[in-house]
Structure 1
Amino acid sequence: MRVTWVGHASVLVQVPGLNILTDPVWSDRAGPFGFGPKRVAAPGIALADLPRIDLILISHNHYDHLDLATLKKLYDRDRPAIVTSLGNDAILRSAGMTATALDWRQAERVGGATVHVVRNHHWSSRWFVDRNRALWSAFVVELPGGNLFFAGDTGMGDGNWVREAAALGPIRLALIPIGAFRFQPGQMASGAHIGPVDALDVFRRLGASWGMAIHWGTFRLSYEGWATPPRLLSAAKRCAGQGTRRFGAVPIGRPVDIAPMTAPPPPTFDRAAILRCLATGEGDALR
């Protein structure tokens, strides 16, 4: 398994016989009609340099995750299978693309993989009158060498969605968001976005062999500093101690080879303990 973080929630995952792309966004702005947050980091791979894409996962319909201009170029070039959650297929169909739209806990076979659409905690809208008329989701992709988990865009909510994803089988790699969580001083999470502390807890509860931090450093969607998400994640890992070194941020555009599945020692920590630790050290100073 070779993985390249393109930026934000866009990740290229390559396994033998299958190239997977999550929430592909190559546009300069995340919004309609040329408005919306502007990129602060170029895509880690030029769109023209992507290998043939076999499968695209689309978590929900926000503009920083469902980018019709990018999707249309990839669709016309490669005709990939597109799997998303209910209602988002109508948006794609309006632009001449076909997708498979599934409810939570449904699955679709694509090539040698099985794609499960699983629950997370978010919301949807592309305009003023369509709030929550399409579904949002995470994904578990069953692969021969171990499952891929893509969290999409999510807050913690009841947290049971983590257990539901883990129940589908051992996770080799988890793609977990760490950014866009701070809308007031000191905030560590929002209703719709987990921050680094909760991302670390998600990694622990998934029991994943490896984890990659995504959804930071590409579009400014909230008030934390550009480098605060990975720095806060590093600080939280030091507070948590053993079992957390396998989850971290990677440079944009740098391919990473994911080692085979192993059974790492489960991290033993709780959120409250990490927050207490951060309040007495570098985490409390990060803005």
Structure 2
Amino acid sequence: MRSRKNKGGFPGRALVMSGLLLLAGGMFACTPKEKQTFTEALWEEQVAQTRISDLYAPHVAEDGRFFAPWMPMPDKSFLDVAWWKLTSSTSYTQEEQAFLPAVLPDTAERLAQTKGDFILWVGHNTFLVRVNDTYWLTDPMFSKRALVPARVTPPALTIEALTRLVPEVNILITHNHYDHLDRATMKQLPPDARVFVPLGLKRPVEKMNKTDVREMDWWEEQDLGAGVRLICLPVQHWSQRITQGRNKTLWASWLLITPDVTLYFGGDTGYFKGFEEFGRKFPGIDYAFMATTAYHPRWFMAYNHMNISEAVRGFEELGAKYFVPTQWGTFHLGDEPAGYPGLDLARYIAENQVDASRFKIMDIGQILAMD
């Protein structure tokens, strides 16, 4: 079909393309400063110049917005985002584009028969953990979309099966981004579930049909009895929802210490000296759940998301026994394909001859027995 021409005689498609070219030309003329100056060496130097003491510094500005005092987040404008989306040139092989975690069948049936302490990967940053007959659920996300991005792999089991098999559960929320705090999922979980959230999220989560929401600040600790402690720890990230202004609520990671096992749930973060401090302050971490997602392009993502080498470095600094990669294989959030980080991590392990037995690259629905 031929293009419909406008009154001036030019095809409509050509007019649109001309506009896009003008926009692109204008964007290329004002390439974001961060894109122009970013190098891995410069980024590493910026991190090295930060001070561990600032991990303990006040982190709320006068306008009520939270920030990371060791390295405040660079401001990114709409043009920065548009420049990234319209000028991305990263290419991936067919294998890299197709790679995804397996989705194991019959998860509910296997879960019902599992004894002892375990880790179950539901998908993305949603893990079900059982320790001494107590259940913990991290960043529950069972919906088909995280606001806009659609799942490329389904959750390991339905939320109905979960609530049937796990009548009492503790929920950990790391921050308010839609792939970590899903309103539809939260409303379907038991109303009396005990929910732990960073500062600013108590009232929003209570509105998601929850009656026991406990708000915590960085470095705050709760004694949950029977030798169990939960500690809220800093990370380098940000927060925003349509109904919640940028950085109006806090973001965090969680350390769960029990008499038998210690687990670090890292949430979303860029690489920072917090890992070194956590390892020093809380020795004996058994499992570290480390984010491996959305790290391309590096000039845009480095502050908020670690690449694979940084995630491994953070894991080593934590002094943890086992690395559990999170947030890969479910949503396409960065330039890289959704499953790419899992493949990238496997390649890193092989190329750097690290001990592969310490890395638990799980399939969706896999139930990992804890040592």
Matches within 5 A, 1:103-252: 103-112=217-226, 113-127=228-242, 130-156=245-271, 159-166=272-279, 167-183=281-297, 190-252=302-364
**C-alpha contact 2:276 2:314 (8 A) present in aligned 1:** no
**C-alpha contact 1:188 1:195 (8 A) present in aligned 2:** no
Unmatched runs of 5 consecutive residues or more in structure 1: 260-287
Is residue 83 from structure 1 mapped to residue 186 from structure 2 by the alignment?
no
Q: Write the distance in 2 (CA, Å) between the matches of 1:198 and 1:149.
A: 16
RMSD of aligned Cα (Å): 1.8
TM-score (norm 1): 0.82
- The alpha carbon displacement at 1:140 in A equals 0.3
Q: Write the distance in 2 (CA, Å) between the matches of 1:161 and 1:248.
A: 22
Q: Which has the higher helix share?
A: 2
* Residue of structure 1 equivalent to 2:134: 18
* Corresponding letter in the other structure for 1:9: N
**C-alpha contact 1:175 1:211 (8 A) present in aligned 2:** yes
* Residue of structure 2 equivalent to 1:273: none
CA pair 74-196 structure 1, distance change in 2 beyond 3 A = same
- The alpha carbon displacement at 1:104 in A equals 0.1
- The alpha carbon displacement at 1:237 in A equals 1.4
Between 1:162-171 and 1:60-69, the stretch displaced more is 162-171
CA pair 107-39 structure 1, distance change in 2 beyond 3 A = same
CA pair 128-83 structure 1, distance change in 2 beyond 3 A = closer
Matches within 5 A, 1:20-99: 20-31=136-147, 36-50=148-162, 51-76=166-191, 79-97=192-210, 98-99=212-213
**C-alpha contact 2:167 2:190 (8 A) present in aligned 1:** no
Between 1:56-65 and 1:221-230, the stretch displaced more is 221-230
- The alpha carbon displacement at 1:128 in A equals 7.1
- The alpha carbon displacement at 1:212 in A equals 0.8
**C-alpha contact 2:231 2:255 (8 A) present in aligned 1:** yes
**C-alpha contact 1:153 1:177 (8 A) present in aligned 2:** yes
SS at match of 1:171: coil
* Corresponding letter in the other structure for 1:207: G
CA pair 129-6 structure 1, distance change in 2 beyond 3 A = closer
Q: Which has the higher strand share?
A: 1
Identity of aligned residues (%): 31
Q: Which runs of 4+ in 1 moved over 3 A?
A: 242-245
Q: Which entry has the higher C-alpha Rg, 1 or 2?
A: 2
SS at match of 1:132: coil
**C-alpha contact 2:125 2:326 (8 A) present in aligned 1:** yes
Give the length in aligned residue pairs.
249
SS at match of 1:239: helix
